[in-house]
Amino acid sequence: MLQIDDKIVSLDLIEKYFVCNLDDCLGECCIEGDAGAPLLTEEKERLEALLPRILPYLSEKARKVVEQEGVSYIDEEGDLVTQLVEGTNCVFTTFAPDGKCLCALEKARREGEEDFFKPISCALYPARIKEYNGFTAVNFHRWKICKGAEVMGRAKGIRAYEFLEGPLTRRFGKEWYDELALTAREYLKQKENMKAQ
């Protein structure tokens, strides 16, 4: 693991290759899993404030769920997460004609409706953030549906931490990310040198 300030970063995030491959997975992460996407309290509040403008992007079933139950709930682990439709799809999931899952929040932002990005937990994937007393863990989550992302990342030579530059910077700041990138490059160089000996 690497430590940058009070953040402990998994070496998998540095070593593994990763580039989302939507053509391969079709956005299955929006509909798979046992809970909604983790939300920060401020993200929930922002979603509630923007809801009237986001509703037109949602499916009819999702609109009903949001109108009756809200945008979020507390899951079994006590985390604040996005609401689900029929226990599977995130309420903000939409579908393209080819079957790909797309985020209604991202769609609204790209069409100029809002400047709200999708939840940071979604943007950060495959990184998973966990807050502990005194430090924050930044881990790499492996999921079989993302095998194509690892293959594409290796083909392009892009490591997970590089792929996540934007979201990591958004979450922890540019100075923190720049230090992570520098430390990661040094770590990888040392690892290569040890292999060569």
Domain residue ranges of the chain, discontinuous segments joined by +: 1-18+126-197, 27-125
Q: What is the pTM of this model?
A: 0.82
Looking at the chain, the whole-number percentage of residues with pLDDT higher than 70 is 95
Q: What is the structure's pLDDT at 26?
A: 67
**Joined tokens for residue 197:** 């000996």
Residue 154 identity (one-letter amino acid)? R
Average pLDDT over residues 159-168: 96
Q: Is the pLDDT of residue 24 over 80?
A: no
Average pLDDT over residues 103-119: 78
Q: What is the structure's pLDDT at 1?
A: 86
pLDDT in tens, 78-104: 889 999 988 888 888 888 888 777 888
Residue given tokens 């990342």 in the structure block? 153
Of the candidates 112, 182, 135, which has an alpha carbon nearest to the alpha carbon of residue 7?
Answer: 135
Name the more confident of 14 and 88. Answer: 14
Q: What is the structure's pLDDT at 14?
A: 95
Contact assessment for residue 161 and residue 184, using Cβ atoms and an 8 Å cutoff: yes
Q: Is the pLDDT of residue 159 over 90?
A: yes
Q: Over 139-175, what HEC string results?
A: EECCCHHHHHHHHHHHHHCCEHHHHCHHHHHHHHCHH
